[in-house]
Amino acid sequence: MQLTVLKGNPNPDPGRRLPPWLKRPLPTGDVLRQTRAIVERSGVATVCEEARCPNLSECWSHRHATFMILGDICTRRCGFCAVDTGKPNAVEADEPRRLATAVAELGLKHVVLTAVARDDLPDEGAGHFAECVIEIHKAWPECVVEVLPADFHAREECIRVLCDAGPEIYNHNQETVRRLSKWIRPAARYDRTLDVLRMAKQIRPDVLTKSGLMVGLGETREELYQTFVDLREADVDILTVGQYLRPSPTHAPVDRYVPPEEFDEMAAEARELGFLAVASGPFVRSSYNAADVYEEIERKRKG
């Protein structure tokens, strides 16, 4: 599938320039060079670099990074994602060890592990995910591990394997509102995502659950609010909301660039629903400021 027009969007390719609030200089500096050298030795990709994230310098300087495991070829194709779709390579058995070594060398205090969907594997990659969590905790106990896997088709045995490995945060993104979900995430399901998050909390009540949304795809504020409600009803603890940016002309078009003040309004609405923490802003991504959010929640728990 090649998504070029989003239903309900009157302007399939706005061709607008980025507004001032979405412009940032590309990151540079010693911390990037040092971190990049260690990452390259590990042979494990970071989403920070793969996606040319504008938050890279800030996150790496705060000892926080996002790694993508299980290869770089996905078995699914989503309308917002730039990752290649096809037949993935074999799983690299030593990846958990290499990843843990890199995390320890970098002295990371918070690491996010994400991955392509691996529908080709019997357990969809859950066991490998779990090994990565265990190896990181063994190599660098001070590190908080946040996992951001695909939905595992809401298979309880897969979700349980990953939860039993002991991640501090279980993250799974809803991405968009119900109406747009089947165009943006054709291989996923809106209610399945809610089931995954609900299941993770039921399996491990102490784990923090988290989900993220992109805005600017043609959704309404009413639809967004209902999505906030649905996520809270699934007992989700942490919510992130950020601006969708189109990776290429073949991906879903941007309907609008949401101004910063609207992100503040959405954050206030979400907090009133009872989320433990909300990160909402133009540059917010699922893993952005994840360490600060976690520490904020820990302070609340202890205080």
**CATH number assigned to the domain comprising residue 111:** 3.20.20.70
What are the tens digits of pLDDT across the range 34-79? Answer: 666 665 665 665 555 444 455 555 555 555 678 889 988 776 766 5
CA distance linking residue 271 with residue 273, whole number of Å? 5
In this model, does residue 92 exceed pLDDT 80?
Answer: yes
Position 6 in a domain:
no
Position 16 in a domain:
no
Position 248 in a domain:
yes
What are the tens digits of pLDDT across the range 178-225? Answer: 999 998 888 789 999 999 999 999 999 999 999 999 999 999 999 999
Position 258 in a domain:
yes
Domain boundaries, position 115: 26-302
Work out the mean pLDDT of the chain and round it to a whole number.
83
Pairing outcome for strands 110-115 and 45-46: unpaired
Which amino acid is residue 258, in one-letter code? V
* Site of tokens 């309880």: 156
Q: How many domains does the chain have?
A: 1
Structure confidence at residue 294 (pLDDT): 82
Q: Are the C-beta atoms of residues 262 and 29 closer than 8 Å to each other?
A: no
Degrees to nearest 5, angle at CA 31 with 245 and 298: 70
Structure confidence at residue 2 (pLDDT): 27
Reference 118, options 90, 144, 94, 95; nearest CA is: 90
Position 109 in a domain:
yes
Position 197 in a domain:
yes
- Cα-based distances in Å from 119 to 73, 80, 87, 113: 11, 19, 10, 18
Position 128 in a domain:
yes
What are the tens digits of pLDDT across the range 217-273? Answer: 999 999 999 999 999 999 999 999 999 987 777 778 899 999 999 999 999 999 999
Position 9 in a domain:
no
Structure confidence at residue 258 (pLDDT): 96
